[in-house]
């Protein structure tokens, strides 16, 4: 068994992780997006005005904003030019803004004191992992992903490491390794069986009393326009791969079935192309994503690539006109006991 001991220069606290298969670097996000501060403010009474509405009548019925923590932001930031990285970075900052921070589980005090954290599915740019490691130098952060994290090792925080691993195939960690596990945006990657296996694996590696948190966007749209052919084609393509985009609603039940308690489940609304800068960015992200899927969607609809792109643009123009939005589901729970989990 290979192990690595991570010691913090500020606290002297050391954590042993079993095992580290591969360690790669990651940049500090202020290098990628200069001028976009990332320090959460603790004043619970001051809530950031998340969206820009002219009046209360502009807010659609059912639209919800989570009021949790104030988050100070700066609108001047530089987006990378690579489309795939841009989509992921945009999403990170959209979610951080609407959630008023990077997490909602009650782990602030523990993060300040020093705990071991897993980002299950950190992505190739690992924005959440690196940002959190920078904010909480007394805690150890491990990011895993099925793809390589191809970033500059010189800029990685000293309390942050990365491993190439797959939650569904089994994590390379001993039982009860982590105090807090964070996972998001797996809705388009996991089949129902993957979700069941993945949550069970997270339950195995989190400590008794530790927290697992999940954020997943809904696959459905509120106040959608009549023409949703592109969306229906995307759903059809997902189903052909065995992926049920709506299965994220089962996450609270999956946590409960795996010995979790104090489960909290809520949602926040994310506008497409309206409601201020965040809505515009979310609309742009969606347009880029759906346009990138045009080579797959066009054959399903029996139209040309160009027609598919035009149809996608029209759909997002209608999203803005209709004030369309979707839900982001926020779920977290605490592992209840020291029940042992079999090594798979």
CA contacts within 13 A on the Cβ side of 229: 17
* Rg of the chain over all Cα atoms, to the nearest angstrom: 20
Q: Could you tell me which CATH class the domain 25-335 is placed in?
A: alpha beta
Among 7-21, 129-143, 236-250, 259-273, which is the least confidently predicted range? 7-21
pLDDT in tens, 114-127: 999 999 998 878 88
Rounded to an integer, what distance in angstroms lies between the CA atom of residue 308 and that of residue 295? 8
Element (H, E) at 32: helix 29-32
Extract the tokens encoding 111.
């993060």
pLDDT in tens, 262-283: 999 999 999 999 988 889 989 9
Rounded to an integer, what distance in angstroms lies between the CA atom of residue 128 and that of residue 162? 12
Nearest to 118 by CA among 101, 133, 106: 133
Residue 49 has pLDDT above 70, yes or no: no
3-state SS of 229-240 is: HHHHHHHHHHHH
Straight-line distance from the first to the last Cα atom of the chain, in angstroms, rounded to the nearest whole number: 16
pLDDT in tens, 174-212: 999 999 999 998 888 899 999 999 999 999 999 999 999
Nearest to 96 by CA among 282, 323, 283, 292: 282
The DSSP code sequence of 93-150 is: HHHHHHTTSS--SS-HHHHHH--EEEEET-TTT-HHHHHHHHH-TTSEEEEEESS---
Element (H, E) at 315: helix 305-322
């Amino acid at each position: 068994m290979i192990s690595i001991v991570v010691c913090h220069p500020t606290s002297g606290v050391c954590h042993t992780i079993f095992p580290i298969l591969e360690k790669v670097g990651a940049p500090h996000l202020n290098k990628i997006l200069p001028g976009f501060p990332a320090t959460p403010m603790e004043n619970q009474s001051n809530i950031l005005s998340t969206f820009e509405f002219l009046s209360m009548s502009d807010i659609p019925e059912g639209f919800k904003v989570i009021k949790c923590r104030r988050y100070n932001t700066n609108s001047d930031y530089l987006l990378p030019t690579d489309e795939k990285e841009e989509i992921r970075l945009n999403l990170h900052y959209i979610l951080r803004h609407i959630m008023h921070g990077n997490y909602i589980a009650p782990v602030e005090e523990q993060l300040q004191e020093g705990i071991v954290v897993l980002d299950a599915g950190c992505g190739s740019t690992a924005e959440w992992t690196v940002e959190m490691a920078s904010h909480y130098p007394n805690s150890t952060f491990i990011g895993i992903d099925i793809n390589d994290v191809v970033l500059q090792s010189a800029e990685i925080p000293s309390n942050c490491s990365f491993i190439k691993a797959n939650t569904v195939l089994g994590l390379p960690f001993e039982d009860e390794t982590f105090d807090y596990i964070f996972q998001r945006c797996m809705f388009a990657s996991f089949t129902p069986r993957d979700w069941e296996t993945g949550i069970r694996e997270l339950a195995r590696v989190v400590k008794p009393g530790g927290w697992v948190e999940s954020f997943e966007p809904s696959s459905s749209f509120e106040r959608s326009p009549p023409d949703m052919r592109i969306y229906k084609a995307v759903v059809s393509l997902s189903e052909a791969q065995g992926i049920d985009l709506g299965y994220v609603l089962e996450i609270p039940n999956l946590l409960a079935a795996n010995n979790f308690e104090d489960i909290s489940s809520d949602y926040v609304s994310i506008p497409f192309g309206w409601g201020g800068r965040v809505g515009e960015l979310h609309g742009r992200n969606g347009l880029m994503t759906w346009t990138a899927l045009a080579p797959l969607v066009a054959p399903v609809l029996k139209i040309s690539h160009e027609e598919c792109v035009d149809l996608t643009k029209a759909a997002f123009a209608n999203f803005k006109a209709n004030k369309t939005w979707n839900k982001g589901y926020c779920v977290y729970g605490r592992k209840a006991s020291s029940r042992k989990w079999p090594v798979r």
